């Protein structure tokens, strides 16, 4: 067992991190849960979702599911409360972040565009350990080893989609990745005759790639339909620069021992996703998704500062299921009958192994969309309860509670006034 948690009881410090998880020490950090609050409330599904009231950017082909004269916007925020435990070490941490901002416009008849920005991965950890070797303690005295990292990679995208024959939808997406990742490993000695050390790396990266999607809807009687969907995101090499540094310091001076720049040598893996849903228009929907992404041979094994033998790149697998139910979307008497109720479950295997074991994550989600004003405007409120690790041979356990709030805005352009 290796302890990755802080020795202090509460990891929250004055240096606030936008994200926090000891698991993010590896690779490019934690890969973010994609999608809007609409998707998150249903376990993260969306590959086979067609809903003209929400922007579904998990599948580029879904952008065309909309009213032809509608302007749509979506943005959301989340608070995450995490509790970590490994052996006798425990820590708590809270974060608050914005997770998406997306706009969608009509083009011509059954075609549309969407543009937005979302986080792709987050790096955030801060923990320390003390020297326990008796020989070292006898020779140099007490020593503390610290590990700190922060940063994010963001995804800026432009999507376009078109629907043919009212059944087949095709979409394509241009993606621009950009961001910074910074890691520090420090050694502080109680004996002032020894110099303290700060060793680490800074990655300033960017890259381009594309994503493609399709959806096919088979309609049946009674406003029921079956939808199948698929997506493929191409892998890409990240460009930019990598800086390695090493500083040695005393109470009076700081010396630069090393400072050199090079080109990053890792890439973002490709990803394939499939989904199927069955729905009754304006009433209910059930959906299942599967995603797979092979991160082996992407070069990320070489960018972790902490004990590189613990983590190894692997294959990411994600299984998701969700549902939506609306009692009566057009009820004029009872507001709660117009509310959309959603729920879902998910199971993920991370893109790395820890001490040879797959790092599993399981969770359950619930939420509602509260209609406001006219058209399809709504406030999306959701809760995600989950656990990562703590089973399957992985001793470190993370339990978390996410509270998400999203805003879906919908307006009609070029609408003639009914009365003058």
Q: Which residue has the higher pLDDT, 413 or 118?
A: 118
Judge whether residue 417 has pLDDT over 60. no
Q: Which residue has the higher pLDDT, 30 or 8?
A: 30
Judge whether residue 16 has pLDDT over 60. no
CATH class, range 22-376+386-412: mainly beta
Q: pLDDT class for 137, splitting at 50, 70, 90? A: confident
Q: pLDDT class for 410, splitting at 50, 70, 90? A: confident
Count CB-CB contacts under 10 A for residue 9.
Answer: 9
- Look at residue 293 in the predicted model and tell me its pLDDT: 97
| Secondary structure of residue 325 in the 3-state scheme | strand
pTM of the model: 0.90
- Look at residue 401 in the predicted model and tell me its pLDDT: 95
Q: Which residue has the higher pLDDT, 66 or 119?
A: 119
Q: pLDDT class for 310, splitting at 50, 70, 90? A: confident
Q: pLDDT class for 7, splitting at 50, 70, 90? A: very low
Residue among 322, 325, 326, 318 nearest 287 (CA): 322
Tokens of 172: 């394509």
Judge whether residue 207 has pLDDT over 70. yes
The beta-carbon contacts of 333-342 under 8 Å, at least 24 apart in sequence, are: 335/371, 338/371, 339/368, 339/369, 339/370, 339/371, 340/368, 340/369, 340/378, 341/367, 341/368, 342/38, 342/41, 342/42, 342/366, 342/367, 342/368, 342/369, 342/382
Decide: 270 and 246 in contact? Cβ < 8 Å: no
Decide: 126 and 139 in contact? Cβ < 8 Å: no
E strand segments, 131-270: 143-164, 168-189, 196-219, 224-233, 236-237, 239-249, 254-262, 267-268
- Look at residue 21 in the predicted model and tell me its pLDDT: 86
Q: pLDDT class for 268, splitting at 50, 70, 90? A: very high
DSSP at 226: E
What value does the CA radius of gyration of the chain take, rounded to a whole number of Å? 24
Judge whether residue 14 has pLDDT over 90. no
103-114: burial string, b at 16+ Cβ within 10 Å, e else: ebebeeebbbeb
Tokens of 321: 């299921």
Judge whether residue 86 has pLDDT over 80. yes
Judge whether residue 252 has pLDDT over 80. no
- Look at residue 236 in the predicted model and tell me its pLDDT: 96
What does the alpha-carbon distance between residue 20 and residue 33 come to, in Å, rounded to a whole number?
Answer: 14
Q: Where does residue 194 fall: left (phi above 0), alpha (psi -120 to 50 degrees), or beta otherwise?
A: beta
- pLDDT more than 70, % of the chain: 91
Judge whether residue 9 has pLDDT over 50. no
Decide: 120 and 89 in contact? Cβ < 8 Å: no
Q: Which residue has the higher pLDDT, 341 or 223?
A: 341
Judge whether residue 142 has pLDDT over 90. no
Decide: 292 and 316 in contact? Cβ < 8 Å: yes
Q: pLDDT class for 308, splitting at 50, 70, 90? A: low
The sign of the dihedral angle between the CA atoms of 57, 58, 59, 60 is: positive
Judge whether residue 253 has pLDDT over 80. no
325-to-35, 341, 375 alpha-carbon distances in Å: 19, 5, 19
Lowest mean pLDDT among 7-11, 238-242, 321-325, 376-380: 7-11
What does the alpha-carbon distance between residue 80 and residue 17 come to, in Å, rounded to a whole number?
Answer: 12
Instruction: Show Cβ contacts of residue 220 under 8 Å, excluding neighbours closer than 6 positions.
Output: 226
Mean pLDDT, to the nearest integer, of 160-185? 95
């Amino acid at each position: 067992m290796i302890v990755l948690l802080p020795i202090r009881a509460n990891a929250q410090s004055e240096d606030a991190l936008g994200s926090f998880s000891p698991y993010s020490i590896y690779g490019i950090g934690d890969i973010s849960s994609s999608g809007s609050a609409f998707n998150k409330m249903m376990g993260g599904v969306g590959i086979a979702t067609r809903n003209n009231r929400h922007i579904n950017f998990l599948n580029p082909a879904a952008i065309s599911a909309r009213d032809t004269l509608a302007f749509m916007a979506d943005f959301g925020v989340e608070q995450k409360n995490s509790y970590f435990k490994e052996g006798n070490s425990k820590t708590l941490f809270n974060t608050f972040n914005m997770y998406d901002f997306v706009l969608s416009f009509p083009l011509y008849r059954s075609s549309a565009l969407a543009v937005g920005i979302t986080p792709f991965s987050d790096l955030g950890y801060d923990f320390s350990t003390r020297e326990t070797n008796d020989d070292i303690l006898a020779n140099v005295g007490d020593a503390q080893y610290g590990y700190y990292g922060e940063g994010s990679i963001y995804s800026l995208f432009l999507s376009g989609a078109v629907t043919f024959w009212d059944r087949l939808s095709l979409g394509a997406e241009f993606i621009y990745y950009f961001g910074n990742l910074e890691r520090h490993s420090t050694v502080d000695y109680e004996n002032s005759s020894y110099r303290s050390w700060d060793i680490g790396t800074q990655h300033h990266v960017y890259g381009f790639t594309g994503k493609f999607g399709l959806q096919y809807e088979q309609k049946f009687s009674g406003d029921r339909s079956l939808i199948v969907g698929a997506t493929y995101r191409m892998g890409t090499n990240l460009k930019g620069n990598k800086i390695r540094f090493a500083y040695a310091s005393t109470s009076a001076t700081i010396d630069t021992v090393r400072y050199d720049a090079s080109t990053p040598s890792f890439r973002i893996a490709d990803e394939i996703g499939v989904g199927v849903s069955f729905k009754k228009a304006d009433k209910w929907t059930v959906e299942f998704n599967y995603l797979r992404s092979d991160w082996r041979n992407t070069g990320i094994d070489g960018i972790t500062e902490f004990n590189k033998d613990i983590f190894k790149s692997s294959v990411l697998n994600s299984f998701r299921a969700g549902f939506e139910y609306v009692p009566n979307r057009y009820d004029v008497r009872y507001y709660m009958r117009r509310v959309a109720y959603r729920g879902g479950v998910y199971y993920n295997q991370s893109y790395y192994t820890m001490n040879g074991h797959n790092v599993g994550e399981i969770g359950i989600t619930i939420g509602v969309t509260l209609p406001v004003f006219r058209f399809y405007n709504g406030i999306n409120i959701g809760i995600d309860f989950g656990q990562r690790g703590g089973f399957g041979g992985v001793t470190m356990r993370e339990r978390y509670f996410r509270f998400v709030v999203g805003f879906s805005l919908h307006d009609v352009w070029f609408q003639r006034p009914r009365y003058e």
